[in-house]
Amino acid sequence: MIDSDILADVKRRYDEVTALMAQPDVATDSSRMAELGPEHRRLEEVVDRIERYERMLSEREELQALIDEGEDEELAAMAREELAEIERKLPEAERRLRMKLVPPDPEDEKSAIVEIRAGAGGDEAALFAGDLYRMYARFAERKGWTIELMERSEGTHGGFKEIVFGVRGEGAFGTMKYERGVHRVQRVPETESSGRIHTSAASVAVLPEAEEVDVNVNPADLQIDTFRSSGPGGQHANMTDSAVRLTHEPTGLVVSCQDEKSQHKNKSKAMRVLRARLYERERAEQQAERDAERRSQIGSGDRSAKVRTYNFPQDRLTDHRLEGDDKNYALESVIDGDLDDVIQALRLAENAEQLANLHE
């Protein structure tokens, strides 16, 4: 059950915003109304869900009282039926309400830039990084999002030492942000003749894609180098200096892109990645005191610093941020891009934690 004090606080804030918007000086102030309007609309929807939830709790209490009285067996039987129906619907109503109670992060609606890097495990780690990329590509396809490759460095025996790609679509960052951290895999590599299980890792970073209005990059702060793209050679070899490397001198951040044949397109993609990294760097600095973990989402690729384990011999995916029955999933479906259940559980866990923090 959700703490009634939390629900009361939300309704109180809704009344405050409604009263503010009714004041003549606020109602005629377009900037103030633009600030309060979205909050009012969100709170209106939340209060509606609160009232429905509280009505269900009240009805449950009344029905239970009728059953406990036991004076009229026929009435009690009807009450038991209605109570069973309310008990069936209540968990879902509570889940939906919890999802609405925490104010959304304005960054959640942005597109995302995802960076996957092979960590501990050599060639097998690179192969696993490739598996993660394919998992996210299939997940994006299910969501109707688009994937745009920005940079990649292929592994010796397949997969990727590093791959960077954009995910465009409504709410992409708000969903993909739960993938940040170190992912560990346990399986028998294709190159292992003795059948021994190996443990490897890859790190995943997810950044909100920043627009030019979010981050102002001074051209004077950039060192721009061009070079010849590496490739398979032969007729596919790039004979022009189309690859681009950007160095942001104030921060030392370096971004290169060579996936396109056009130098202009490579520069444009590299700028998008650079803006995203600078934006995340700024956000992390602002939130450092409240949430130090967000500053180091990439990690070292060390096997021990894991958020999730992919155990192929047991067909089990375990998310170590979750507890109880929510932490284990069928690996085969998840690796095929069916990530919805895992992300939903992570979102609910995060909301529960944020609700607790809001009420402290």
- Each residue's pLDDT tens digit, 320-354: 999 888 899 999 999 999 999 999 999 888 888 87
Mean pLDDT estimate for the chain: 86
User: What's the pLDDT score for residue 236?
Assistant: 44
Task: Give the per-residue pLDDT at 358.
Answer: 60
Of the listed ranges 58-67, 134-143, 254-263, the least confidently predicted one is 254-263
User: What pLDDT score was predicted for residue 230?
Assistant: 66
CATH, range 108-360 = 3.30.70.1660
Give residue 232's pLDDT.
45
Lowest pLDDT segment from 84-88, 190-194, 310-314: 190-194
pLDDT at 302: 47
Q: What mean pLDDT comes out for the span 213-239? A: 70
Q: Which helix (H) or strand (E) holds 54?
A: helix 30-69
Residues of the chain with CATH 3.30.70.1660: 108-360
What count of Cα atoms within 13 Å lies in the side-chain half-sphere of residue 25? 0
In this prediction, residue 204 carries a pLDDT of: 95
Q: Give the model's pLDDT for residue 39.
A: 87
Intervals of CATH 1.20.58 along the chain: 4-101
25-57 tens-digit pLDDT: 999 998 899 889 988 998 999 999 999 999 999
State pTM to two decimals. 0.71
- Mean pLDDT over residues 100-126, rounded? 88
- What is the crossing angle of helices 73-101 and 340-359, to 10°? 90
In CATH, the number for domain 4-101 is 1.20.58
DSSP secondary structure, 60-118, as one string: HHHHHHHHHH-S-HHHHHHHHHHHHHHHHHHHHHHHHHHHHHSPPPGGGGS-EEEEEEE
Q: For the chain, what percent of residues have pLDDT higher than 90?
A: 50
What is the pLDDT at residue 136? 97
Q: What's the rounded mean pLDDT across residues 56-73? A: 90
Q: How confident is the model at residue 288 (pLDDT cuts 50, 70, 90)?
A: low
